[in-house]
Chain A
Amino acid sequence: MTVAVQGRARKERRDREPRPGLIARLRRSYDQHWYAWVMCAPVVLVLAALVGYPLVQGVLLTFTNANSLNVGRTIGVNHIPDTYSWVGFKNYVDLITGPDNQLVPHFVWTIVWTAVCVVLTVGTGLGLAVLLNRRIRGRAVYRMLLVLPWAVPTFVTVFSWRLLLSDGGAVDGLLGLLHLPQPSWLSDPLAMKVAAILVNTWVGFPFMMLSFLGGLQSIPNELYEAAEMDGATPWQRFTQVTLPGLRPVSSTVMLLGIIWTFNQFNVIYLLFGSGGDDSVQILVTYAYQLFFGQMPQDYAGSAAVGVICLSILVVFTGFYRRWVARNGAAA
Chain B
Amino acid sequence: MTDTTTPPRSAGPDTGPRSDSPGDSPSGAGSGGRPRPGGRLSRRLGTGATQGFLGVWALLAAVPLLWALVSAFKTNNELFASPWKLPATWHFDNFVRAWTKADIGEYFLNTVVVVVGALALTMLLGSMAAYVLARFRFPGNRVVYYAFVAGMTFPVFLALVPLFFVVKNLNLLSSYPGLILVYTAYALPFTVFFLTGFFRTLPTSVAEAAVIDGCSQEGVFFRIMLPMAKPGLVSVAIFNFLGMWNQYLLPLVLNSDQHKYLLSQGLAALAVQQGYANDWSALFAGLVIAALPVVALYLALAKKVQTGLSVGLLK
Contacts and interface: CB of A to CB of B under 8 A. Distances in A.
Nearest to B145: A40
A309 interface: yes
Contacts, number: 348
Interface in B282-308: 283-284, 287, 290-291, 294-295, 298-299, 302, 305-307
B289 to A, nearest CB: 10
A134 B14 CA distance: 11
A287 B1 CA distance: 36
Interface residues of A, number: 128
B7 A250 contact: yes
Contact of A50 (B25, B29, B181): B181
Contact of A243 (B4, B153, B160): B4
Contacts of A231: 25, 29
Contacts of B76: none
Given A26-B139, A160-B67, A215-B314, A58 B3 contact: no
Contacts of A146: 54, 57-58, 61
A189 B300 CA distance: 41
What class of interface size applies to chain B in its complex with A? 35 or more
B184 interface: yes
A136 B47 contact: yes
B54 A132 contact: yes
B30 to A, nearest CB: 11
A18 B139 contact: yes
B11 A54 contact: no
Interface in B128-187: 128-129, 131-133, 136, 138-141, 143-144, 147-148, 151, 153-163, 165-167, 181-182, 184-186
A54 B184 CA distance: 15
Contacts of B249: 265-266, 269, 288
Interface string B210-230: 000000010001000000000
27 contacts: A26-B138, A37-B140, A42-B129, A47-B147, A47-B189, A57-B166, A61-B161, A136-B47, A145-B62, A151-B299, A153-B245, A153-B246, A153-B291, A154-B246, A168-B80, A214-B313, A225-B35, A235-B18, A239-B8, A247-B4, A252-B313, A253-B313, A284-B157, A288-B160, A306-B161, A324-B3, A327-B2
By Cβ-Cβ distance, the 10 closest A-B pairs, closest first, are A123-B10, A214-B310, A57-B162, A54-B159, A18-B139, A54-B162, A50-B185, A127-B11, A16-B140, A170-B83
Interface of A: 12, 15-16, 18-19, 22, 25-26, 32-33, 35-37, 39-40, 42-44, 46-47, 49-51, 53-58, 61, 71, 119-120, 122-124, 126-128, 130-132, 134, 136-138, 141-142, 144-149, 151-157, 159-164, 168-170, 173-174, 202, 206, 210-211, 213-215, 217-218, 221, 224-225, 228-229, 231, 233-235, 238-239, 243-244, 247-254, 259, 262-263, 265-266, 269-270, 273, 284, 287-288, 291-292, 299, 302-303, 306-307, 309-310, 313, 317, 324, 327, 330-331
